[in-house]
Amino acid sequence: MKSIKLIAAITMFIMVLAQDLNVRNVVETDLKAAAEKRGIKVYTSIETLGAMIVGKKFPADAILAKVKELNAEIKLRK
């Protein structure tokens, strides 16, 4: 009897909160590469939202709407 391996399709949205856009891009890209090696479909904030400045006028509603549109998982880390 053959065993069947079930694989859950996971979509992840990665967003790094950093003032320096270069740092944000490098970290998001590295995290994306690591997740893709595990078979996870990944979107980064820079790819989907562009280069936005993180500050007092942080567009949280727009970001959450995009994550929902992509049907992605939300994981918050400090």
Report pLDDT digits (tens) over 30-54: 999 999 998 889 999 889 888 776 6
Instruction: Note the pLDDT of residue 60.
Output: 81
| Residue 18 within any structural domain of the chain | yes
Nearest CA among 24, 15, 78 for reference residue 42: 15
Q: Assign 12 to helix, strand or coil.
A: strand
Q: What is the rounded distance in angstroms from the CA atom of residue 31 to the CA atom of residue 42?
A: 9
The alpha carbon of residue 45 and the mean position of all alpha carbons in its chain are separated, in whole angstroms, by 6
Q: pLDDT band at 7, cuts 50/70/90?
A: low
| Residue 6 within any structural domain of the chain | no
CB 72 within 8 A of CB 12: yes
What does pTM read for this prediction? Answer: 0.74
Looking at the predicted structure, is the pLDDT value of residue 6 above 70? no
Q: Which domain holds residue 46?
A: 11-69
Instruction: Note the pLDDT of residue 36.
Output: 92
Instruction: Look at the chain and report how many structural domains it folds into.
Output: 1
